[in-house]
Amino acid sequence: MEIDAQDAFDINFFENVLKRDPKNRESLELLGSLYSKYEMARQALRIDRRLLRILPQDARIRYNFACSLSLLGRKSDAVAALKEAIDLGYDDMDWLLQDPDLNGLKGYSEFESLIAPHKCPF
């Protein structure tokens, strides 16, 4: 997907903000979202790791980290991160079950075991 002009500007802007303030949570989150939007999974994973160093107990950040791992084909690591996210309180199971970032995990036994208790029986 080609990056549109506004998003290219925003990516550059947030990258520059982070050069001056490497722990700026808002800029990290917005940049991570932009990287994900444009399927820049390696860059998104790098941002997720930075956010986890700042907020290791944040369930949503841990979930996003799992998504980045999944997009990179790191299934076992992604499932481990998802389990940690759930243990930390991530509870949007409806989204988890339909999130396209996790499509690569569907059919993977560790993932199926993790989500089995949360699937609707009918």
Q: Largest Cα–Cα distance in the chain?
A: 52
CATH code assigned at 18: 1.25.40.10
**Domain that residue 38 falls in:** 5-118
* pLDDT tens per residue across span 93-103: 999 999 999 99
The total number of structural domains in the chain stands at 1
- Residue 65 has, within 13 A of its CA and on its CB side, a CA count of 27
Within 10 Å of residue 72's Cβ, how many Cβ atoms?
A: 15
Distance of CA 49 to the CA centre of its chain: 10
Rounded Cα distance, 38 and 57, in Å: 27
User: Is 57's pLDDT higher than 70?
Assistant: yes
Predicted confidence band of residue 120 (pLDDT cuts 50, 70, 90) = low
- Give pLDDT, residue 121: 64
| Under 8 Å between Cβ of 105 and 70 | yes
